[in-house]
Amino acid sequence: MLRYFESREAVLLDLLDAEIEEWPAELERAPVPGQGTPRERGDHLADLLATSMTRRPVLCDLPGAQGAVL
C-alpha cells in the first residue's frame, strides 16, 4: 500500500474522502416522504441514516482508526 501512497495517513485520508463523497450522493437518491407528522419524518430520517451507515462499514470504522494513525 505504501508504494501507492506517501504514508499511512494518506491511505486513511483517501479512504475517508472517498467514503464521505459517496455517502451524501446515496442519501440524495433515497425517497423522501412528502407527508407525515414531524415524528414520522424524523423516524424515516433516522432509519435512512442508520440503514445507509450499515452499508458503509468502512465509513463507520475510519473515525475510530484516526486516533491511532493521525
**pLDDT tens string 14-49:** 888 888 888 888 888 888 877 889 999 899 999 999
The C-alpha cell at 55 is 452499508
Q: What CA–CA distances, in Å, run from 34 to 38, 40, 41, 48? A: 11, 11, 9, 15
Residue 1 lies in a domain: no
Q: What is the pLDDT of residue 2?
A: 67
- Per-residue pLDDT band at 1 (split at 50, 70, 90): low
Structural domains in the chain (count): 1
The residue segments making up the domain with residue 14 are 8-29+38-69
d(CA 24, CA 70): 25
Tell me the average pLDDT across 41-66: 88
Whole-number pLDDT of residue 70: 65
pTM score over 0.85: no
Position 19 in a domain: yes
53 falls within a domain: yes
**Contact yes or no for 8/68 (Cβ under 8 A):** no
Rounded distance between C-alpha atoms, residue 61 and residue 53, angstroms:
11
On whether residue 58 sits in a domain, the answer given is yes
